[in-house]
Amino acid sequence: MSLQPQDVNALLHNMRQQILALTTQLAELWANSTPSVEKKFNKKVKVIADPGTFEGDRAQFTEWWIKLQIWVKANWDAFADNFEVATAVLS
């Protein structure tokens, strides 16, 4: 299947018009887009009180551990990864 020179020229002309139309649409989208707003706030929300550090009393461990787990789950979005969670628990 060989194309005649007229067919090639018509094809190139149509492609150029499509590129021009898409470029115009893209420029309009960029012009009408809302600027992105940079979030500058701390994601950590204090829903419950920090359970504090474990003082070594075995009788109080279960209560402290439950409070710590709830605190971690309540503030989960504030941690970037598991390392930060472990650091918060161990500190």
77 and 42 within one domain: yes
The whole model's pTM is what?
0.40
Per the prediction, the chain carries an average pLDDT of: 80
- Report helix, strand or coil for 17: helix
> Into how many domains does the chain fold?
2
Residue with tokens 């402290």: 64
50 and 88 within one domain: yes
The pLDDT of residue 64 is above 60: yes
29 and 44 within one domain: no
What is the domain extent for residue 15?
1-33
